[in-house]
């Protein structure tokens, strides 16, 4: 049963759900930057309840980036796109997954998801790595991956697990070579902040799966 | 002025309230910001309110051009006592509010937005819209009457706390 509240509060909740998605925000930001207007960071919320949360995540993101950069410098000569991009995707995906953002569109139907994503330059696809037997689709939202507009599909399980799938059109110049599972290559696997991330290419899409690492008993 | 995401979301939300459509809201926001950037007024105390006004003017100009400006007959009533409080006292569920929202005109949506999201009083809304407080109260009164008449089953009585 839907929770009841005062008319004013219900209108407020209804309207506060309306926000710019990442693509819309990126477009506005570019317009304002080109005009010389003062534009602050992508996730800056200067007042209200989001500020503290956002600041924490920004700080966490910066620490992650620093750690990632340090690790990269230490263990690899990370100057080429090939080795760096999957790491950066993993960082981005881990942070997004931890944020537990609400879906823009709630549905359990993959067909409805395809209809919803009418601003993408690709069609979101199913994958053998998307386990529909133990996880159910909760919804979807627009996001960006390495600056490219992407689809974020959200799955849950009766046990309360949360799994995120990200899909973006594969651009070899931007993303470098990634394992193509249609050529029997294994996905790259990363663990970032307790989140297991797999990255691969399938149907000419970059796919990334993020899920909380199951607790070992 | 710093255009952070919170401010842009607020402006987008306002444009959505006017247009009732996400894509139109995006276009309207772009157009209002372009106008703001082009004119760059030197002394503006409240740029968000200023941009909101640009958006509002543009939206109604557009409706005038299309000759689809909503016509409203505001009934006169001497008794708007406690209308804000009575509206506030309605206890309702989310789905019914979504249904009600779909029945509102752009004028009504704007008043509701300023009342519910910006938390303005009827007098402040009137100031914002260049309208007498009585006109705003009349809109709120009519909304309350419509809600209680058309959605009486869903609201199932009012909370008088």
Q: Is A18 in Cβ contact with B94 (below 8 Å)? A: no
First to last CA, chain B: 41
Q: What is the pTM of this model?
A: 0.52
B120 touches chain A (CB under 8 A): no
Q: Which two tokens stand for residue B15?
A: 């444009």
Neighbours of A202 (CB within 10 A): 20
Predicted local confidence at residue A111, as pLDDT: 81
Predicted local confidence at residue A84, as pLDDT: 76
Task: List chain A pLDDT tens, one digit each, 217 residues.
Answer: 457 888 889 999 999 999 998 888 888 888 888 777 766 543 433 443 444 455 566 677 777 777 766 665 554 544 444 457 888 888 888 887 887 677 878 888 888 888 888 778 788 887 777 776 778 888 888 888 877 788 888 888 777 778 889 999 998 888 888 999 888 888 999 988 788 899 999 988 999 999 875 554 4
Among A11, A27, A45, select the one facing B5 at the smallest CB separation.
A45
β-bridge pairing A105-106 and A148-156: unpaired
CA distance B95 to B151: 11
Q: Is B37 in Cβ contact with A32 (below 8 Å)? A: yes
pLDDT tens digits along B9-62: 999 999 999 999 998 999 999 999 988 888 877 777 788 888 999 999 999 888
Residues A87 and A72 sit within 8 Å (Cβ to Cβ): yes
CA distance B147 to A147: 45
Residue B80 burial class via C-beta count within 10 angstroms: exposed 0-12, middle 13-18, buried 19 and up: middle
Count of A-B CB contacts under 8 Å:
118
Residue of chain A nearest B30, judged by CA positions: A28
What angle in degrees, to the nearest 10, is found between the helix axes of B22-39 and B5-19?
120
**Residue B78 pLDDT > 70, yes or no?**
no
Window 18-77 of B: residues touching A by CB (8 A cutoff) are 22, 25-26, 29-30, 33-34, 37
Which residue, among B26, B139, B27, has the nearest Cα to B77 in the 3D structure?
Answer: B139
Contacts of B83 in chain A (CB under 8 A): none
CA distance B80 to B29: 35
Residues A124 and A114 sit within 8 Å (Cβ to Cβ): yes
CA distance B17 to B106: 7
Q: Is A39 in Cβ contact with B4 (below 8 Å)? A: yes
Residues B8 and A48 sit within 8 Å (Cβ to Cβ): no
Window 3-22 of B: residues touching A by CB (8 A cutoff) are 3-9, 12-13, 16-17, 22
Residues A144 and A150 sit within 8 Å (Cβ to Cβ): yes
Q: Which two tokens stand for residue B73?
A: 């007959």
Predicted local confidence at residue A51, as pLDDT: 46
């Amino acid at each position: 049963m839907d929770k009841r509240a005062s008319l004013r509060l219900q209108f407020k909740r209804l309207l506060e759900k309306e926000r710019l998605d990442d693509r819309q925000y990126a477009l506005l930001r570019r317009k304002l930057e080109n005009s010389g207007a003062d534009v602050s960071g992508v996730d800056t919320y200067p007042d209200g309840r989001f500020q503290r949360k956002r600041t924490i995540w920004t700080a966490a993101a910066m620490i992650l980036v620093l750690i990632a950069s340090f690790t990269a410098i230490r263990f690899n000569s990370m100057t080429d796109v090939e080795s760096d991009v999957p790491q950066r995707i993993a960082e981005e995906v881990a942070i997004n997954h931890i944020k537990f953002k609400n879906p823009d569109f709630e549905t359990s139907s993959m067909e409805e998801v395809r209809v919803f994503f009418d601003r993408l330059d690709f069609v979101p696809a199913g994958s053998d790595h998307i386990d529909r037997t133990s996880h159910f689709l909760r919804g979807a939202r627009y996001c960006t991956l390495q600056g490219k507009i992407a689809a974020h599909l959200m799955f849950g399980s009766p046990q309360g697990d949360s799994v995120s799938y990200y899909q973006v059109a594969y651009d070899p110049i931007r993303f470098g070579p990634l394992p193509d599972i249609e050529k029997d290559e294994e996905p790259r696997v990363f663990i970032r902040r307790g989140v297991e991330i797999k990255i691969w290419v399938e149907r000419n899409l970059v796919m990334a799966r993020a899920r909380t690492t199951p607790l070992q008993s | 002025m710093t255009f952070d995401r919170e401010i842009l979301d607020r402006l987008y939300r306002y444009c959505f309230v006017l247009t009732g459509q996400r894509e139109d809201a995006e276009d309207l926001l772009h157009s209002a910001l372009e106008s703001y950037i082009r004119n760059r007024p030197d002394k503006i105390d409240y740029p968000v309110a200023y941009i909101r006004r640009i958006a509002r003017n543009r939206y109604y100009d557009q409706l005038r051009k299309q000759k689809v400006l909503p016509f409203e007959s505001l009934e006169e009533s001497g008794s708007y006592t406690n209308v804000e409080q009575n509206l506030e006292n309605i206890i309702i569920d989310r789905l019914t509010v979504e249904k009600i929202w779909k029945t509102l005109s752009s004028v009504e949506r704007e008043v509701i937005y300023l009342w519910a999201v910006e938390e303005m009083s009827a007098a402040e809304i009137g100031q914002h819209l260049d309208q007498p407080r009585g006109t705003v109260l009349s809109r709120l009164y009519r909304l309350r009457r419509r809600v209680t008449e058309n959605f009486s089953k869903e609201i199932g009585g009012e909370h008088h706390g």
